[in-house]
Chains A and B, each alone.
Chain A
Amino acid sequence: MRRLLWPVLILALLLLVNVLFTPGFLSVQVRDGHLYGSLIDILRFGAPLILVSLGMTLVIATGGIDLSVGSVVAISGALACLQISQDAGVFTAVVLALGLSVLLGAWNGFLVAGVGIQPIIATLILMVAGRGLAQLITDGQIITVNDPAYKLIGGGYWLTVPFGILIVLVVLAVTAFLTRRLALGLLIEAVGGNAEASRLAGIRARGIIVMVYAFAALCAGVAGLMISSNISSADGNNAGLWIELDAILAVVIGGTSLAGGRFSLGGTVLGALIIQTLTTTIYSIGVPPETTLLFKALVVTVVCLIQSTAFRDKVFHRRRPVALAGPATEEKARVTA
């Protein structure tokens, strides 16, 4: 619980800043039969990032990293929109796009676990080649589709709630159940702690690694569908550009160690929400575009410093209690809209 304290405080602080600049920031109303408000926007536009970050969390927990998720986002959206524009059903398009995503993720996993390439290099291949593949699928053009059923995934509403948020809730719940109620989370952490030792202990480390990369790509694939559905078009050049870096940042802010071996799904969700809230803050308080990146960098630096116990001890000269927080527990309630 303690580990999540700081991300929660930072998120609250960011929201407070927004309330000061935009008085009605926290108000959520029903307009045109759906929820409307800045908080809903943060959840809705943050949904793809949360998904990608969830996948990234598990990859990072095994001591790996996946740079290719941004490209998978582009490929998935491109393939789905291409299929729909060629009059394939939405269901077929979605299945094909997600199938290809899983395949690409498994390929990453194979390179890492089967061939033994370092994760950052193995996934760099798909990061570069994948964007080319997305452009190949879209023929370098922006494919515009006009299909209400497809629109639902990222831009639609179900019982007044944005459908994307519901998807995130389901994926989060399933992931939390698989990793925290079953032994899978423990196995992933064991592989991340020491792959060889876990193998000797009888864990099929390779299988686990292939699985987490496939899962990360699946999450990215769903995120790609959301992003392209939200704007009813597929943009091979720009969809999901640099989302992998935001995802890694979200995972780190959430308290998952880049060295692997332990992870916090609740922290990752908070991390992603912090990033999206920061983006919204920049738009609302009117930071000039020329200084946006600097502003973001400063906030992120402060966030990371606040979370560093070493830094806090130095600055506040505080004696830390000996007992450290145990493995993170789930916080499903945090993301409910």
Chain B
Amino acid sequence: MMKRITALVIAGLTAAALTGCGSSGSEGGGGGGGDDAIVMGFSQVGAESGWRTANTKSVQSAAEKSKITLRFSDAQQKQENQIKAIRSFVQQKVDIIAFSPVVESGWDTVLKEAQNAKIPVILTDRAVDSKDTTLYKTFLGSDFVEEGKKAGQWLVEEYKDAKDTVNIVELQGTTGSAPANDRKAGFAEVIGADPKFKIVASQTGDFTRAKGKEVMEAFLKSTPDIDVLYAHNDDMGLGAIEAIEGAGKVPGKDIKIITVDAVKDGMQALADGKINFIVECSPLLGPQLMDLAQKVLKGENIPARVVTEETTFDQEQAKAALPTREY
């Protein structure tokens, strides 16, 4: 008897937990809208980071501003949820579909369905590896190679008068991920032109603060002479700053630091002089997305690849930008 009751209690709790998860997938936007109002179906990856949350907010507020009705669906980082969402958008006969693919492969079938229903598709932030590029109109997102190049260019400029070897350590993102591969490649390409720049150690910090700190601690001991740290995102850089301070050195002075992303905590460190340069990887692609959507529906030609409008920040620019930083 006792066992049965406990079993029931557990079943109840599990069910409650499950419905809890279900209801958190927000269905924002809504509303029928007038005849001429554009209806956009947008399938987001999930809410795994502050960057992603800012991305969602940007899309939602931009849609509101351009009077586009947004049907928003959160995939909770599961491809099957995204495929379901896209199918339901097709059934609802939305005017245009935009989505950030969770993974790169496996989209051909569902994109074909959208194509057959004559609904144009825009990819945001992440690409798909489909061979048939007619399945989507354009891909709007950051160019990670370009971000790596920008980081490299600042370094070359900063050390243009230096004669000695510049010893660089690199904290890579998650091994094998597109941003890690591309940011590494872009950076290496630019600094490779001058033999005085030398990457003396390069390890993955998994894009996290904890790993960034741990790896940097080890670098500081195994490589006594470090001039520059290049971290593939702000968080690893922030972890490394703590390691550098723990070693009795001054981050930003004894060791120059370059990072990518420009999230709020990173910008704060930049304004405080602990980071020297940040290459922005902006999640605020909402306005560009709405603009592209309107052009597509008017039948205008748009390029197959649109790069997000992004900038770079040095310490002075960070101080100016910090008060209005959204994420």
Contact = CB atoms under 8 A, between A and B. Distances in A.
Partners in one complex: yes
B221 A22 contact: yes
- Interface-central residue, A142, A230, A232, A235, by most chain B CB under 10 Å: A142
- Interface-central residue, B208, B238, B246, by most chain A CB under 10 Å: B246
A280 B215 CA distance: 8
B247 A36 contact: yes
Interface in B201-248: 201-204, 206, 208-210, 213-215, 217-219, 221-222, 235, 238-239, 242, 246-248
Interface string A220-244: 0000000100111101011100000
* Size category of the binding interface on chain A: 35 or more
Contacts, number: 98
B210 A140 contact: no
A179 interface: no
Contact of B218 (A111, A116, A239, A280): A280
Interface stretch (B25-33, B44-52, B188-196, B304-312): B44-52
A283 B222 contact: yes
A283 B218 contact: yes
Interface stretch (B3-11, B81-89, B90-98, B152-160): B3-11
A21 B222 contact: yes
A238 B47 contact: no
Interface in A238-295: 238-239, 279-280, 282-286, 288-290, 292
B265 interface: yes
A230 B221 contact: no
Nearest to B17: A129
B242 A232 contact: yes
Contacts of B17: 129
B209 A231 contact: yes
B218 A41 contact: yes
Contact of B210 (A115, A135, A238): A238
Nearest to A45: B214
Nearest 7 A/B pairs, CB to CB: A283-B218, A289-B204, A284-B222, A231-B209, A238-B208, A140-B47, A32-B248
Given A31-B248, A140-B53, A230-B242, 9 more contacts: A32-B246, A114-B6, A115-B3, A141-B49, A141-B53, A142-B209, A227-B210, A231-B210, A286-B222
